[in-house]
Structure 1
Amino acid sequence: MGPAATAEFYAKVIARTPAVRDQDHVRVVIWADPTVPDRVAALLDGSTDPYPALLEGALKLRDLDATVIAIPCHTAQYFIPKLAADTGMRFLDMVAETAAALSARTGPVGLLGTRGTLASGLYQNMLAGTELILPSEPTQTEVDQAIAAVKRGDARQGGAHLDRALAALDAPLTILACTELPLAARYTTSEGELLDPTDLLADALIQCCW
C-alpha cells in the first residue's frame, strides 16, 4: 500500500529477473492505491476496514487479465485467504515464502514489523518451530517511528530508529516484516543479518511468471 514500498518492490522484480532485453521481463500491472484504509488499525482494534478497497483493487487487476497477485505489504497478507476466495485469483504468500526460506535455519530469529502484523500472529504461526525474538514496547516504538519516517520521505531518519531497534533486539538474523523497513535499513550500521521478505516475494513472482 505504501507508494515507496510499491516502487521498491517493482524495482526488485526488474533487478532480479534474468533479462537481457525489455522483452525478457515479466508483464506487470501495478495497482497502487495509498488511500486504502489503515491495515494496522484494522487488525489491532477493528476501527478501520481496508478489505473493500483491497477487494476492489484485486478485481481491477483481474479485469486487466492479471493471473497472479503479489501484495508487497506484510500486514495486508492477513487478508489474502479471503481475497483469494472472493476473487478466484492466485495470491503469492510472502509469509509462507519467508517460512520456507528459514525452514533449515537453527537458532533465534528476530521479527520486526507493524503492530498489526505482530498482533495478527502471521509470522509467529507460520514459523512455529522457530525461536522468534519479538520487540519490547520501547523497541516497537522505535520500529513505529522508523516506518513513519520512511512514509514521510525521510528514510535516513528511519534508519536511525531502526538501528536502535536492531540493537535492542540483538538477534543474529532479523526479519524486516514491514515493507518500509528495508528502505530504512539502507541507513543502518547494524552488523546483524537482515532478511527482507519482499526479496523472496519478488523471486516467487519471477519464478511463476517469467
Structure 2
Amino acid sequence: MLGVLGGMGPMATVDFMGKVVRNTPAARDQDHLQMVVCSAANIPDRTAAILGEGPDPLPAMVDALRRLEAAGVTCVAIPCNTAHHWHAALQAMTPVRVLHIVDAVAEMLTESDGGGLGVLATSGTVEAGIYQERLAHRGITCRMPDAAGQAEVMRAIRLVKAGQLAEATEILRAQAMALVSTGCRQVVMACTEIPVALAAEEGALRTVLVDATEALARACVRTCMASAHDSATSLAA
C-alpha cells in the first residue's frame, strides 16, 4: 500500500495522486493501487528552513510519516522535491522504503548531458544541491537559472500555491526556454507546483520538459506492482 506524505503543497499532492492513477495499468477499481494520503499542510516551509529563515520541518514530516506507518503502508512517496533534503533522515527513522524523487527522474532522462540538464526548482532545492549531488553520481551536470531567473521561478511557485496559474505559466515558460537557449536538451520541472502550471504546455517546449511528479508516480506504480507480484508468488509457493 502506497503512503503519500503530502500537503507540500496540497494542489501538488492531488496532481501526484492523479498521475499515480493514470500510470496504473488497470481495467477496474480493484486493479489500482491502495493509497493512504497524509496531506500535512502544517509542515513548515522547506525552502525557508534550508535558507535559515524558518523552522525545521522535519518534526512535522516525521509526525506525518508515523501516521502513514500506523496505516500499514509498504512504501512512501513525498511529492515535494525540496522535502527530499530530509530524505536520508526520514529513511533512517523507518523500515518502510521512502522513494527518492531524483532517482525516479533519472529513470526518465533520455538525452545526453552535453549541454547540461536544466532544472527549475525552489531556491531551497537548488541551495541544498538535491539534484546536483544525486545526479552527479550518474555523470549528469545540472544547470539552473541565473539569480534573476531563480527569483522569477520562486515568484511563479508562490503564484501556483495561491491559485494564480496564468501568470505563473508565463513566467515558468520563459525560464524553461531560457535554459533551453543555453544548450539544455531537457529541463526538469523539479518542483511539484511547476507541472501544475505547465500542464497544458504544447509544442516544442513540451518535448523537452521532464515532469518530476510524473516520474515519482511511475516509480510508485512500478514499486507497488512489483511488491504485489512478489507477494502473490510467495503465497502461491
Q: CA deviation at 1:188?
A: 4.6
Q: Is the deviation greater in 127-136 or in 6-15?
A: 127-136
Task: Establish whether residue 183 from structure 1 lines up as the match of residue 190 from structure 2.
Answer: no
Q: CA deviation at 1:101?
A: 3.2
Q: CA deviation at 1:81?
A: 1.1
Q: CA deviation at 1:46?
A: 5.6
Question: Does the residue aligned with 2:114 lie in a helix, a strand or coil?
Answer: coil
- Verify the 8 A CA contact 1:177 1:197 in the aligned structure 2: yes
- Residue number in structure 1 paired with 2:178: 168
Q: Is the deviation greater in 200-209 or in 100-109?
A: 100-109
Question: Does the residue aligned with 2:92 lie in a helix, a strand or coil?
Answer: helix
Q: CA deviation at 1:47?
A: 2.8
Distance 1:103 1:190, change over 3 A: closer
TM-score by length of 1: 0.94
One-letter amino acid of the counterpart of residue 200, structure 1: A
Task: Establish whether residue 56 from structure 1 lines up as the match of residue 63 from structure 2.
Answer: yes
Q: CA deviation at 1:105?
A: 2.7
- Residue number in structure 1 paired with 2:223: 208
- Verify the 8 A CA contact 2:109 2:210 in the aligned structure 1: no
1:163-207 Cα distance to aligned partner (Å, 9 max, x none): 221232223210111000001113556733100111111111111
- Verify the 8 A CA contact 1:69 1:91 in the aligned structure 2: yes
* CA RMSD of superposed structures (Å): 1.6
Task: Establish whether residue 196 from structure 1 lines up as the match of residue 211 from structure 2.
Answer: yes
Q: CA deviation at 1:99?
A: 2.4
1:112-167 Cα distance to aligned partner (Å, 9 max, x none): 10000001111101221223221101111111111111100121211011022123
TM-score by length of 2: 0.84
Question: Does the residue aligned with 1:35 lie in a helix, a strand or coil?
Answer: coil
Instruction: Report how many aligned residue pairs link the two structures.
Output: 210
- Residue number in structure 2 paired with 1:86: 93
Q: Is the deviation greater in 102-111 or in 13-22?
A: 102-111
- In structure 1, runs of 5+ residues without a counterpart are none
Q: CA deviation at 1:100?
A: 3.5
- Verify the 8 A CA contact 1:142 1:164 in the aligned structure 2: no
- In structure 2, runs of 5+ residues without a counterpart are 1-7, 226-237
Aligned identity (percent) is 38
Distance 1:112 1:19, change over 3 A: same
